[in-house]
């Protein structure tokens, strides 16, 4: 079993989940800004629970997978896995910075805690993710030919 392959796939999955989360939050924010006048899914749309759902299916597993990829490859380092984790952090930072610019356009009746806190919170979380990626890129030790587990 090639352990490096596992680390690579875990890192790729984390990047995919970061992209998915950013896309979900941007869509929710755009929906809130442009809610149709004839919107009748219920009495009203509540963004708080939807954002918490997206956090639990998107960015939380992405962060865990980034940490797992780091733990699996930290001993020897890996430029490729480091760049994947770094790119996930950059995607999260840029996406949440864009969402932060959308906060001014959101109507006040939809400005619940989850809407206000999500962009700055995950901009902050993107920093350690990027640092972990940089640590992997900088760590460069010779990997033994055969590992015995």
pLDDT of residue 5: 75
Contact 61, 16 (CB under 8 A): no
Q: Please give the residue that has the higher pLDDT: either 147 or 47.
A: 47
pLDDT at 2 (0 to 100): 56
DSSP count for the chain of H helices, then E strands:
5, 0
What is the average pLDDT across 55-69? 95
**CA pair distance 93, 79, nearest whole angstrom:** 21
């Amino acid at each position: 079993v090639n352990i490096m392959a596992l680390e690579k796939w875990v890192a790729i999955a984390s990047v995919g989940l970061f992209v998915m989360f950013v896309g979900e939050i941007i869509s929710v924010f755009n929906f809130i800004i442009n809610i149709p006048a004839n919107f009748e899914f219920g009495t009203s749309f509540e963004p708080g629970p939807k954002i918490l759902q997206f956090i639990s299916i998107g960015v939380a597993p992405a962060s865990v997978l980034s940490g797992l990829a780091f733990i699996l490859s930290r001993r020897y380092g890996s430029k490729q896995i480091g760049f994947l984790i770094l790119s996930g952090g950059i995607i999260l930072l840029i996406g949440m910075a864009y969402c932060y610019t959308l906060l001014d356009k959101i109507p006040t009746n939809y400005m619940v805690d989850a809407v206000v806190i999500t962009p700055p919170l995950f901009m902050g979380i993107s920093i350690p993710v990027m640092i972990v990626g940089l640590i992997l890129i900088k760590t460069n030790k010779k990997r033994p030919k055969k590992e015995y587990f």
